[in-house]
Structure 1
Amino acid sequence: MAKDGIHAVLMVFSVRTRFSQEEKAALRSLQTLFGSKILDYMIVVFTGGDDLEENDETLEEYLGRECPQPLKEVLTLCENRRVLFDNKTKDVLKGVEQVQELLSLVDRVIEKNGGRPYSDELFAEIQKGEMNFRDQQEEADSLKGRFSTQEISEFKEQMQRQYEDQLKRVTDMVEMKLKEATGNLERRLAEEQAARLRAEESAQSEQRKSNEEIRMLRESLEKARQELNKNGGCAIL
């Protein structure tokens, strides 16, 4: 993480367990809060590589067998930037190689984004709150010995109120983003439902039209049969 933003985002999954609903929700929340641009900075980290090795299985084979559709989509969108780490290995060289592979992926992300760290309105607000709180904490520490305990206590109370205000702004921003995302989803669902209704109405209309044509054809055939029986000869349909 850089002072002015995030250079890389690591999403960590274990090959020991199935891809859970919580992990699926975490991916959706990440994109909802930070937008699809965050995928340009994402690296997927898998742990439990030594378990795969014990089963004589590669990560590619595991993903071909266990990879759910949401994770496949994420891997595709982040250009398949992924790395596998062992949990129990005592091979120091292997551990160093895995770290180097991760750092190489981070360098790829930085190069891809022109060295520009990820930043948006929400991140900037969070960062601003952290900086303000840190500055105020340093200022509070500098007051010791120069002001009374009561004055320092009042200053800290003021700091706490400012921090809570900052936290509320961040919370409001998160709620706004979630509300916007929910609204977009509801609109898409409504549009899809409307499209299905139109398709159903069109199908019903075609069915009614077909039924009417069949009815008219039957009436025509019945009329022709009656004419044929009546005249004992041919009838024109």
Structure 2
Amino acid sequence: MGGGGTDGDGDWAVLPFPPRLADVTLALVGKVGSGKSATANSILGDDAFESKDSYRAVTGTCQKRSREFHDGRATRTVNVIDTPGLFDMDSTAEHVQKEIAKCMDMAKDGLDAMLMVFSAQSRFSSEDEKAIESIKLFFGNEVLDHMILVFTHGDVVGGESSWNKKLTDSAPAYLQDMVNLFANRVVLFDNNTSDMRQRESQLKKLFCAVDFVISRNHGRAFCNQMFTQIKEMHPVSMSNKEIYDDYLKQISKMVEEKLNSTIARLENQLHEEQKARQAVENNLREEIRVLKDRLKKAEEEAEEEAKPGSSCIIL
């Protein structure tokens, strides 16, 4: 968890970072039970979000909290958006579109970094892979430039050296590729430790990764066309509930349309993959049929030659 970046950059620890942003917005995304809320609390330094080890959702809706901290050079503000399990299998389309709309409203000026949170003690599944691919499809590939991988339960896996060995020896190919791609944007977190020095150390690593992302993107937050539209639509005043509710309905509609197009692309991609697999299977069946025909013909010829009087004898 160090080394080169996605395009051959050097170790983030020695990069000449520009002046750091005074105000940073982070969104935490991941499955139920991955440790999103606990990680958000570690970043904020208090129990701002309800958190517990559970396979049931603790975070029911997007929430945003902020704190000021001194990074050794200057005082900064970090805004943390904790999201529910947006890409869990049991999440309804209506719930997903509503929560994505809320998240984008909370980060209407854009996201400086998106933290994809996984549990280091759980097997990286096809569902985890689909979550990353769904985010890429929905937001576009450029979202990867703003993404950081955070693995929780660092205490369970025995620290970074043991975790790195586990990744190398037994992680699925997709996860290994992602870790290699995000070489300087992978952080192992222990949210249970009471060791303040360890807490400070892992927070420092996280913010080094955040500042690396900001540096690589020249200080520009992730802000695609939808973020721009949401910012333009945002009410001047938030005090009128009717106006604000109408605004939320509008952006929910935008998200719904985007989700529908994303689902359509996924279904089309799946259909094309199934067609390609079917073509391969058909080709294999044809090759097997040809081989069987050749084998049968060879056997028949061998039997014919083995019959009495089938050989030509020259006296």
Q: TM-score, normalised by structure 1?
A: 0.71
Partner of 2:197, secondary structure, is: helix
Q: For residue 171 of structure 2, what is the aligned residue in structure 1?
A: 67
Q: Distance in 1 between matches of 2:148 and 2:283?
A: 42
Partner of 2:214, secondary structure, is: helix
AA of the residue aligned to 2:215: E
Please, which of 180, 194, 213 is the counterpart of residue 279 of structure 2? 194
Matches within 5 A, 1:35-184: 35-53=140-158, 58-64=162-168, 67-79=171-183, 81-125=185-229, 127-128=230-231, 132-138=233-239, 140=240, 156-157=241-242, 159-184=244-269
Tell me by how many angstroms 1:215 deviates: 1.7
Deviation string for 1:8-66 (max 9, x for gaps)? 2211122344445653442232223223332222211122223344x897321343466
Q: For residue 204 of structure 1, what is the aligned residue in structure 2?
A: 289
Q: Distance in 2 between matches of 1:227 and 1:66?
A: 61
Give % identity. 29
Partner of 1:102, secondary structure, is: helix
Q: For residue 148 of structure 1, what is the aligned residue in structure 2?
A: none
CA RMSD of aligned residues (A): 3.2
1:87–1:63 Cα change, 3 Å: same
Partner of 1:13, secondary structure, is: strand
Tell me by how many angstroms 1:227 deviates: 4.8
List runs of 5+ in structure 2 lacking aligned partners: 1-24, 26-106
Q: Distance in 2 between matches of 1:183 and 1:171?
A: 18
Q: Distance in 1 between matches of 2:213 and 2:314?
A: 82
Contact 2:148 2:186 in 1 (8 A): yes
Q: Distance in 1 between matches of 2:244 and 2:108?
A: 23
Partner of 2:137, secondary structure, is: helix
Partner of 1:46, secondary structure, is: strand
List runs of 5+ in structure 1 lacking aligned partners: 141-155
Q: Distance in 1 between matches of 2:179 and 2:118?
A: 12
Q: How many residues align?
A: 210
Tell me which moved more, 59-68 or 164-173.
59-68
Q: TM-score, normalised by structure 2?
A: 0.56
Please, which of 256, 261, 270 is the counterpart of residue 185 of structure 1? 270
1:164–1:104 Cα change, 3 Å: same
1:207–1:18 Cα change, 3 Å: closer
Q: Distance in 1 between matches of 2:113 and 2:235?
A: 24
Q: For residue 226 of structure 1, what is the aligned residue in structure 2?
A: 309
1:79–1:56 Cα change, 3 Å: closer
Q: Look at both structures and tell me which one has the larger radius of gyration over its CA atoms.
A: 1
